[in-house]
């Protein structure tokens, strides 16, 4: 079994995509600290923490997924435990992505900021409790797991609706990177639906066993969505730490 896993590690797979993606987000965190925080006098360690939560949650998600895909050639017990880690990574990334959006979206509204952060943390714990139930690990619950993940992501509708009402859609689009947020959400949902429906392999069994399987497409969507999210929060960061971003303006 160890020999089989060692051989698997030498073969390029989607595991490598996850690891390179994790490295990318580590580099983005280092770049943010050195390039962006230092460029604004008003930027503080709190900004670094907000970005770090998001970027490190992406790193954790990708490494957890890489660990799961590496463990599939090991014993059923080890593979099952790493599968749980994979699900945990998805929940962690989703909750972590909320943090900078809520922080900058409600930058001048500390009460709303705190309430939404607490709420998404509690919802994330609830989602983790559901998907980590051994019953949901069964292939028959693939759609249910996907529904939980999509539902967790759609929690963003509530704070976004409040922001649209209080600030207007045009301001969110031009100053807060809302277009990038919509792109990120669309990629996450598209990837999840492709994963749940097993497209394209269900239309041509055996032809997508190595490349372009639904699971691979799903993870590509996750990386692209996280990058879109990065541009969203970077736009919001720039807005609040430039002159027009002063609270009350």
**Residue 67 is part of which domain span?**
15-240
Say if residues 175 and 198 touch (Cβ distance below 8 Å): no
Measured in degrees and rounded to the nearest 5, phi and psi for residue 132 equal -85, -5
Number of helices followed by number of strands (H, E) in the chain = 10, 0
Q: 218: exposed, middle or buried (C-beta count within 10 Å: 0-12, 13-18, 19+)?
A: buried
The pLDDT value recorded for residue 6 is 46
Predicted pLDDT of residue 35: 83
Q: How far apart are CA 197 and CA 201, in angstroms?
A: 9
On whether residue 7 sits in a domain, the answer given is: no
The burial class, CB within 10 Å (0-12 / 13-18 / 19+), for 141 is middle
* Tokens at 205, concatenated: 């069994």
Domain contains 215: yes
In-domain check, residue 4: no
Q: Confirm whether 246 is domain-assigned.
A: no
- In whole angstroms, give the CA distance from residue 167 to residue 11: 51
Residue 219 counted as an annotated binding residue: yes
Confidence at residue 81, expressed as pLDDT on a 0 to 100 scale: 64
Does the residue 1 lie in any domain? Answer: no
Per-residue pLDDT of the chain (249 residues; tens, 9 = 90+): 444 444 444 444 556 666 777 788 888 888 888 888 888 888 889 999 999 999 999 999 888 888 776 766 655 665 666 567 888 888 999 999 999 999 999 998 999 999 999 999 999 998 888 888 777 767 677 777 778 888 888 888 999 999 999 989 998 998 889 999 999 989 988 888 888 887 877 777 767 666 677 777 888 888 899 999 999 999 999 999 886 556 755
Residue 74 annotated as lining a ligand binding site: no
Evaluate whether residue 3 is within a structural domain: no
Tokens of 13: 């797979």
Q: Is residue 248 part of a domain?
A: no
Q: How many domains does the chain have?
A: 1
Question: Taking Cα atoms as reference points, which of 98, 94, 26 lies closest to residue 63?
Answer: 26
Task: Say which residues have a Cβ less than 8 Å from residue 112's Cβ, sequence separation at least 6.
Answer: 106, 159, 162
Q: Could you tell me the pTM of the whole model?
A: 0.83
Beta carbons of 94 and 149 less than 8 angstroms apart: yes
CA distance 179 to 146: 24
Please indicate, yes or no, if residue 245 is contained in any of the structural domains.
Answer: no
């Amino acid at each position: 079994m160890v020999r089989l896993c060692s051989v698997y590690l030498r073969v390029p797979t989607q595991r490598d995509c996850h690891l390179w993606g994790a490295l990318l987000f580590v580099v983005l965190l280092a770049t943010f600290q050195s390039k962006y925080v230092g460029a604004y006098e008003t930027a503080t360690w709190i900004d670094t923490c907000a970005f770090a939560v998001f970027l490190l949650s992406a790193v954790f998600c990708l490494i957890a997924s890489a660990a799961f895909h590496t463990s599939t050639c090991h014993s059923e017990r080890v593979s099952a435990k790493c599968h749980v880690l994979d699900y945990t990574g998805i929940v962690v990334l989703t909750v972590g992505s909320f943090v900078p959006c809520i922080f900058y979206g409600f930058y001048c509204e500390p009460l709303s900021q705190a309430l939404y952060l607490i709420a998404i943390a509690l919802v994330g714990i609830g989602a983790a409790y559901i998907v980590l139930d051994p019953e949901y690990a069964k292939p028959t619950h693939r759609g249910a797991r996907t529904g939980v993940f999509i539902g967790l992501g759609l929690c963003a509708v509530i704070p976004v609706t409040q922001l649209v009402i209080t600030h207007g859609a045009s301001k969110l689009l031009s100053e807060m990177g809302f277009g990038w947020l919509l792109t990120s959400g669309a990629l996450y949902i598209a990837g999840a639906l492709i994963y749940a429906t097993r497209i394209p392999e269900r239309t041509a069994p055996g032809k997508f066993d190595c490349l372009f399987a639904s699971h691979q497409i799903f993870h590509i969507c996750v990386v692209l969505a996280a990058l879109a999210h990065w541009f969203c929060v970077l736009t919001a960061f720039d807005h609040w730490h430039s002159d027009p971003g002063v609270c009350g303006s």
